[in-house]
Amino acid sequence: MDNSGKEAEAMALLAEAERKVKNSQSFFSGLFGGSSKIEEACEIYARAANMFKMAKNWSAAGNAFCQAAQLHLQLQSKHDAATCFVDAGNAFKKADPQEAINCLMRAIEIYTDMGRFTIAAKHHISIAEIYETELVDIEKAIAHYEQSADYYKGEESNSSANKCLLKVAGYAALLEQYQKAIDIYEQVGTNAMDSPLLKYSAKDYFFKAALCHFCIDMLNAKLAVQKYEELFPAFSDSRECKLMKKLLEAHEEQNVDSYTESVKEYDSISRLDQWLTTMLLRIKKTIQAPVFVSHLLRERWGRDLLESFPPFPPGESRRPQWAGGSGGQHAGAPEAQAAGWTVTLCSRYIPCSLPIYLSPHRCPSPPKPAVQNL
């Protein structure tokens, strides 16, 4: 039988179910077993829904399951009603994600009313996944993962709760809610330390927490690494801890090459996933790469910028005077500073006579493309 034949059969079943429901509402049916007709209608609606599924008419299948669920509620069959709402949600996933969420929420209401919190938690995860993949609403996905974790915790299903919390932490970090992510990673990591089976994974959670600290502030990250080493001595010998220390050193020296090389070395053994790659790139962007005078001389805008510096007094060397000593801002160059440039002494890197570099992160247009192409 082709899809059109299955759909026609499903439509006939729907008509039969509707007749059963209508007949159950008559006066004599109320006296002589009207509920049995409703039970029969429930079964027929379910059969029609399955025929629609075979015909790949997902919306019609979902609607038929919803009709069956409503009749089960009329019969006070809560478990059967919840099951039908879940079936409806699964059908709507393929056609109408928002309607799928509505059906699953109806099922969750019934399960929580019955005290079936573990099943309710499972369906909150299903809703979170729809928000992740279909509707791309990460904030709502986080809310449902958190609700699922709460239900699992209440039922002492800590492993399942932690899986949900880790999803929350991952998304929180990507949304730059770093403190929220840190709290979760530290909580899950501390719990994992006490379990012989989960102890090995604790280092991964502390590593992710340290990266979140790094996104806030380098000093935060340093203190966090020290704390995790004291809390979990095995973390000190892990590749993750060694990488963190290399990254902190490279960041302190503002050495992009060293930072990149450390990440490449780690990635050659332990492949970076998308989350780690994103976080490491965010941190890398906070390292300011120098733009040397020799580079500026290649561009007209660079030569114009250098001409804005005040001339050197007679008899002085070619080294300019720097406010605040080494590392301070130049006392002159008001035009450069007004344009948003950061002018800093960097004598140990200088390949020419004028020891300055400019931060590319504050480079105004049009120079920005030229700086990026150096």
Q: pLDDT digits over 250-282, tens only?
A: 998 888 999 999 999 999 998 999 999 999 999
Domain limits at 188?
179-287
pTM over 0.85: no
Q: Confidence band (pLDDT; 50, 70, 90) for 38?
A: confident
**What are 166-204's pLDDT values in tens digits?**
999 999 999 999 999 999 999 999 999 988 888 889 999
Q: Are residues 185 and 282 in the same domain?
A: yes
CATH code at 276? Answer: 1.25.40.10
Q: Is residue 222 part of a domain?
A: yes
- Read off the pLDDT of each residue in 95-102 and give the average, rounded to a whole number: 95
Q: Is the separation of the CB atoms in 106 and 69 below 8 Å?
A: yes
Q: Is residue 108 part of a domain?
A: no
Q: Is residue 239 part of a domain?
A: yes
Q: Are residues 263 and 339 in the same domain?
A: no
Q: Is residue 166 part of a domain?
A: no
Q: Is residue 140 part of a domain?
A: no
pLDDT over threshold 90, residue 302:
no
Around Cβ 36, how many Cβ atoms within 10 Å?
A: 12
Q: Are residues 189 and 282 in the same domain?
A: yes
Instruction: Report the number of distinct structural domains present in the chain.
Output: 2
Q: Are residues 271 and 358 in the same domain?
A: no
Q: Are residues 200 and 225 in the same domain?
A: yes
Q: Are residues 251 and 347 in the same domain?
A: no
Cα–Cα dist 74/126, whole Å: 26
Higher pLDDT, 81 or 302: 81
- Provide the pLDDT for residue 320: 36
Measured CA angle at 246 (ends 241, 249), to 5 deg: 125
Amino acid identity at 79: H
Cα–Cα dist 181/175, whole Å: 10
Which one, of 182, 240, 189, lies nearest residue 215 by Cα?
A: 182
Percentage of the chain exceeding pLDDT 90: 56
pLDDT over threshold 90, residue 327:
no
Q: Is residue 121 part of a domain?
A: no
**What are 124-153's pLDDT values in tens digits?**
999 999 999 999 999 999 999 999 999 999
Q: Are residues 275 and 299 in the same domain?
A: no
Q: Are residues 263 and 305 in the same domain?
A: no
Q: Is residue 225 part of a domain?
A: yes
Which one, of 195, 185, 191, 119, lies nearest residue 154 by Cα?
A: 119
